[in-house]
Amino acid sequence: MDNPGYIMLSRLSAQARTTAVVAHNLANADTPGFKAERPIFTAFDNANRNGAAARGDTSTAFTWDRATWRDMQPGALQTTGNPLDLALTGEGFFAVDTARGERYTRAGRFSLGADGRIVDANGNALLSENGQPIIAAAGDTNLRVTGDGTIASENGPLGRIKVMRFNNEQAMLAEGDRLYDAPAEADGEIMPRPAIVQGALEGSNVSAILEMTRMMTELREFQFASQFAEREGERLQTAVDRILRKQ
């Protein structure tokens, strides 16, 4: 295979990945707190990979899969009336305790576990600012959450919800559809006054209609690249047949 074939294979690989990312976004259009993702591609200049191109050489650019960019725009708020449904109207992430350590989420659908801990949909405990799970006693029936994260019942305060802000949100690593890990380069800090709304959820920031339009566009691009690769294969086969006939 010569350069045109390899170039188109790189394009096909990029289109396949783009389609997979769009499909993942569509699948999470109704996931609370989900953030849409976008692949980032650039051109890899083959002629200049080791410096200046050789005399008479021409540049050959391949598609290079560089990274995935996460759209951190907030989703629409959905009022539920559930006292343990919490939404962040500004920046920040709730901190939860998982089997892999502390993780962060915008999905504020919480409930009371069997042991009184406030947990997310996967059973991960919601953490307070001191890094401990927030636990409600059997007599705590009326839970109230103020905007700054203070949670209390009719029997008194239970703690203050830990909300983290990250200066480099793109450095956060997604784990599934709701959780993020935060390496040191994410540069996180506890928010002193988060903006929390009780009885509401932040929805996904994915627009199903726009994402479906993107899916159709990417599928057409994939078909175009596939047809080009097929024609290139036919061209090479024709060239080989002609050479063999002359011999």
Q: What integer is the mean pLDDT of 192-207?
A: 95
How much is the pTM?
0.79
Q: What integer is the mean pLDDT of 3-12?
A: 70
Average pLDDT of the chain, as a whole number:
86
Match 């410096």 to its residue by tokens. 51
Express each pLDDT in 130-142 by its tens digit. 999 999 998 898 9
Count of C-beta atoms within a 10 Å radius of residue 9 = 16
Give CA–CA dist 21/154, Å, rounded. 46
